[in-house]
Amino acid sequence: MPRLVLEPRETTSILAPVQVAGLALALTLVAGGVLFAIYGVAPHKGLHAVFVEPLLSTYGIGEVLLKMAPLLLVAQGLAIGFRAQVWNIGAEGQLILGAIAASALAIQFDGTVSPLLLPAMILAGMLAGMAWAGIAAFLRTQFNANEILVTFMLTSVALQLLYYLVTGPLKDPMGFNFPQSISFGQSASFPLIIEGTRANASLFIGLAVTALAWVFVRYSFASYRLSVGGLAPDAAGYAGFASKRAIWIALFVSGGAAGLAGVGEVAGPLGQLQRNVSPGYGYAGIIVAVLGGLHPVGILFAAAIMALVYVGGDFALLSVGVPDAVTGILQGILLICYLACSLLLTMRVRWVRDAPA
Amino acid sequence: MDVLIFMVSGTLAAATALIFAAMGELVAEKSGMLNLGIEGMMATGAAMGFVAASVSGSYTLGFVAAAGLGMCLSLIFAVLTLVFRANQTASGLAIGILGLGLSSAIGKKFESMTLPGLPDLPLGVLADLPVIGPMIFQLDAMVYLSILLVVATWYVLNRTKLGLTIRAVGESPETAHALGLKVRWIRAGCVAFGGAMAGIGGAYMSTAYTPLWAEGMIAGRGWIVVALTVFGTWMVPRVALGAYLFGSISLLELSIQAFGVNVPSQLMSALPYLVTIFMLALISRNTLFIRLNSPSSLGATLKLQ
Amino acid sequence: MAASVLGLTALPGWAEDPLKIGFVFPSPIADVGWSAELNAGRVAIEEHFGDKVETIFVENVPEGPDAARIMNQMAAQGADMIMLGSFGYMNDGIKLAEQRPEMTFIHASGYKLAPNFGNFQSRNYESSYLVGMAAGDVTETDVVGIVAAYAIPEVIGMINGFALGLQEVNPDVTIKVVWLNSWFDPPKAQDSARALMAQQADVIYSLYQDTPSVVTVAEEEEVWVINTSSDMKEYAPTWLLASQIADWSAYFIESAQASIDGTFEGTAFWGGMADGTVDVRSWADAISDDTMAAITEASDAMKAGTFHPLTGPIADQDGVERLADGVTIADPDLLGIDWLVAGVETRLPN
């Protein structure tokens, strides 16, 4: 009887990630087409609206780049930790802290024309993200507390802290008690990079972090140490034997990157601190990191695809008139297809004719 | 006195959805599976339960449909992690996103509609007792069922061979596999149970606790469930206690406000998480305790051939 | 020949090109609630103008970085006018209005204006005063509870109007408020209503709860309930005391007409009892005839413009006089009101 067996790949082809992405995308297109048909929209029109339409206008491309920046930052940072088996799933909270710290500076120095304000905000945001993730590193290294759970719960705490600050100390005193800060001035905002869009210079930070991550993964001895530290927990189980140093580095890097993403939001499209600082970039970043195969280049593409689906979903709301639920379902399907197909990165499927001995 | 009755009966009801979902998640985690898609599964359960109960007129059918759909979602998670060896964290988040989208799609035509609400089930003579009666013995059937579920979960996990098997699989899937246990099937079963319970928990929100459907009504309760399993250090009675504690804190905030006293509501909302982090740090230091209670392989990708 | 002359003299963009109006709603459009009321305004526009307008809408748009994309997309699709249904769309809307001077915008409950960007508020405190009178009439425990979202000026104004109406009929009532600190959390809203009932409140004022959460629990517990935004009589057939409603149709139609005519001005519109934007529906039969007569009298006076509920002497919770005898609160002060009248037990958060 012929049957399917899974075998570990001996070598991973450089093309494998591309093939996997292509397969997942193809499956998503099929499923997405069915989904649109259910809502009475011609599948090709619906898919065109999501996957093509955003790329047909400068504005659309700008929106994709805008959405891509935070995803890229968060995912690159997380991937470095994930490679070391340090599971920071609280990037959302670290992003919020970054946004808060940057906003506090912008509010404190409102009206200044100093070119130093934005760099100071960037630094403050990064440090705040690092500090928030550092709590988890401290609890993991000193108390052996599982960082998945600590980072996750710190996100809920960060959210409440944000709610407190925007209704209290950081509230716009002239803002009629609405839960939000003042609008930031020019010197507290990233410059736009494409005329007529909202895409701003925070994307360059994302690209710079991508380059750094690539160098880090490719050459750094620290990276080697991180992956060795990360291999141990398989044997050691829950308690985890990832070296303390690896844990600190992983959480500082991912927290700092998420903090930068938070700065990009308040000093970018938002232009103020408010309750909805992030539409879940911290969680989406985890998925982007995994989709990108934890590889800096893969993450670059994964971030672009995720951003496209987000923006395309919004486009489809108007151009083909599907309810917003479709976007969420489509994202879910894409992720599930991608996760399933990722198996092919490390394994290959083969038909075997004879029964095993 | 009314305030006391409100606090006690309210806490029991407020904790019910959390208990269903938390018992399910606890069993899944005990087998080593960390499913972070609870929020999405509860939301889908809430939408499905409401729609099914509205259309059929039967609450039972509502809960069954919600459990079924929750289970389907969780099985996607099981297949991804156990067959396709995908990362548990990412897979859980993926079905969470899918579940939220699905809940919105299912409930679209029912937005802001209401149901009469699951009727109360007075427990005979007990219900007529002064004070205690309305406090404890005049609640709906699901509240009592949730208490039975806690007892049953405790019994199965700690006193049966099945429980031993589940714990062995969560402790070391490799060893369990070597002993001839069907690790994947056991884990899939535990995850499916978790999905069904999350679905029921969600349906309790939309058909009994707040008998209406509104998109987003689960409002973070799924994340609380994950925190509860940690807060309870993977021990059934403590997880249940945590659910009641959480329920009472949220009601206490409102009661204090109604007394005319302002409370820092954000601090109250953050408190359960802060306490959980503190608890986690406290217990994690004790390696022996952690080894006895927390599933060692929690969240790790299965490496069996 | 005559036809071509007519064609030449027709104003550009008039007959052949309908006015395209985009609507951005903050929550799903249901049968009831804030978005439902705004959507009723959209339907009214379509009925009024027929082929001369085309409307498009997107519901459930979160306030945040993604809202701007929806507005821009509407503009890209040729929208001539956009209605923004929530406060949080203000900054993005203003930005778009600057980029697109040829378009017109109307925005709910904000405070920023531009030549092509107007906003609209309702004088809900007027109808709050009336339902407050009814609450004072029917309460037997002399405890009334309010479930409120955020302490923003509009909500504070409504609580003040409600309390003043209540005290007019029944000076000894205790008024308790539970702040949800959330725009949307039906289970928490319902818990709040129960918490108030447990403290003897026998009238619950559901202030800007989009879903029938509070209304249904009141019907179940047999406690009087007042609702805002939509008439929720069908959710509480027995125990609904009254529903405060807002009808935006006239204002929306007027704004669309101004956009067609090219006469649109970015002004602040305050709709009240006088112009029919604000009203009360489904008065319960239980309200005594005397009080009902007093309510009608106050209502008529407000419609005639001879009575403003927030007229001094009014003291705040600390006993400080906020409005001197005979002084009426000015609209800009109302837009930023941050104090509650004496007699409201709960303080403002923070």
A146-203: pLDDT as tens digits: 888 899 889 989 999 999 999 889 998 888 778 889 999 889 999 999 888 889 999 9
Query: Which stretches of chain A score pLDDT less than 70?
Result: 1-4, 9-14, 220-242, 354-357
The contacts of residue A248 (CB under 8 Å, 6+ apart) are A134, A137, A141
Structure tokens at B211: 């008998």
Structure tokens at B259: 């007394």
Q: How confident is the model at residue C44 (pLDDT cuts 50, 70, 90)?
A: very high
What's the complex ipTM?
Answer: 0.88
CA B77 to chain centre: 17
The pLDDT of C240-247, averaged and rounded, is 94
Closest by Cα among C187, C226, C180, C220 to C203:
C226
A261-298: pLDDT as tens digits: 999 999 999 999 998 899 889 988 988 998 888 889 88
Give the C-alpha separation, C15 to C195, whole Å. Answer: 58
Q: How far is CA B68 from CA B64, B74, B156, B284, in A?
A: 6, 10, 22, 36
Query: A265–C65: do the CB atoms touch at under 8 Å?
Result: yes
Q: How many residues does chain B have?
A: 305
The pLDDT score that the predictor gives to residue A159 is 92
Torsion A312-C104-A175-C273 (CA) sign: negative
CA angle B239, B241, B243 (to 5 degrees): 70
Give the C-alpha separation, C130 to C222, whole Å. Answer: 22
Query: B210–C199: do the CB atoms touch at under 8 Å?
Result: no
Closest by Cα among A175, A111, A161 to A262:
A161
Q: How many CB pairs under 8 A join B and C?
A: 113
DSSP per position, B160-173: SHHHHHHHHHHH-H
The pLDDT score that the predictor gives to residue C286 is 94
Give the C-alpha separation, B259 to C148, whole Å. Answer: 15
Q: Is pLDDT above 50 for C6? A: no
Residue B146, phi then psi, degrees to nearest 5: -65, -35
Beta strands in chain A (DSSP E): 3-8, 347-352
Q: Is pLDDT above 90 for C33? A: no
Q: Which residues of A, range 225-284, sit inside 8 Å of B by Cβ?
A: 233-234, 237-239, 283
Closest by Cα among A280, A298, A276 to A70:
A280
Give the C-alpha separation, A135 to A129, whole Å. Answer: 10
Give the C-alpha separation, C341 to A242, whole Å. Answer: 60
Q: Give the count of alpha carbons within 13 A of C345, CB side only.
A: 21
The pLDDT of C153-161, averaged and rounded, is 93
The contacts of residue C320 (CB under 8 Å, 6+ apart) are none
Q: Is pLDDT above 60 for C1? A: no
Give the C-alpha separation, A165 to B120, whole Å. Answer: 41
Of A160, A328, A343, the CB nearest to B270: A160
| pTM for this predicted structure | 0.88
Which residue of B lies nearest to A164 if distances are taken between CA atoms? B266
Query: Which stretches of chain B score pLDDT less than 50?
Result: none
Of C178, C210, C348, the CB nearest to B258: C178
Structure tokens at C89: 């769309």
Contact C158, C228 (CB under 8 A): yes
Query: C64–A318: do the CB atoms touch at under 8 Å?
Result: no
Identity of the amino acid at C214? V
- Write b or e for each residue in C9-20: b if 16 or more Cβ atoms lie within 10 A of its Cβ, otherwise e: eeeeeeeeebbb
Neighbours of C124 (CB within 10 A): 26
Structure tokens at C291: 């009080």
Specify the higher pLDDT residue, C63 or A106: A106
The contacts of residue C333 (CB under 8 Å, 6+ apart) are none
Contact A67, A307 (CB under 8 A): yes
- Chain mean pLDDT for chain C: 90
The pLDDT of C35-42, averaged and rounded, is 94
The pLDDT score that the predictor gives to residue C16 is 59
The pLDDT score that the predictor gives to residue B129 is 81
The pLDDT score that the predictor gives to residue A227 is 56
Measured between CA atoms, how close is B17 to chain A, in angstroms? 20
CA angle B296, B297, B303 (to 5 degrees): 150
The pLDDT score that the predictor gives to residue C290 is 95
Question: Per CB distance under 8 Å, which residues of C are interface residues toward B?
Answer: 28-33, 36, 60, 145, 176-179, 181-182, 184-188, 190-192, 194-201, 210-213, 216, 220, 235, 345-349
Query: A163–B266: do the CB atoms touch at under 8 Å?
Result: yes
The neighbouring-strand residues paired with B72 are none
B265: chain C residues, CB-CB within 8 Å: 179, 181, 349
B36-75: pLDDT as tens digits: 999 999 999 999 999 999 999 999 999 999 999 999 999 9
Q: How confident is the model at residue C2 (pLDDT cuts 50, 70, 90)?
A: very low
Q: How far is CA B134 from CA B108, B140, B144, B239, B251, in A?
A: 36, 11, 14, 25, 17
Q: How far is CA A236 from CA B80, B140, B194, C290, in A?
A: 24, 46, 27, 80
A310: chain C residues, CB-CB within 8 Å: 66
Q: How many residues does chain A have?
A: 357
Query: C350–A167: do the CB atoms touch at under 8 Å?
Result: yes
Give the C-alpha separation, A193 to C192, whole Å. Answer: 48
Query: Mapping DSSP to helix (H, G, I), strand (E, B) and coil, where does residue A267 land?
Result: coil
Pick among A335, A337, A342 to test the B interface (most B CBs inside 10 A) = A335
The pLDDT score that the predictor gives to residue B304 is 64
How many distinct helices (H) and strands (E) make up chain A? 13, 2
B282: chain A residues, CB-CB within 8 Å: 143
Torsion angle, alpha carbons of A40, A42, A47, A52, to 10: -130
- Chain mean pLDDT for chain B: 90
Give the C-alpha separation, A263 to B143, whole Å. Answer: 45
The neighbouring-strand residues paired with C204 are C145, C225
The pLDDT score that the predictor gives to residue A342 is 80
Query: A343–B99: do the CB atoms touch at under 8 Å?
Result: no
Structure tokens at A19: 């093939």
Give the C-alpha separation, C72 to A357, whole Å. Answer: 65
Give the C-alpha separation, B39 to B21, whole Å. Answer: 10
The pLDDT of C249-266, averaged and rounded, is 94
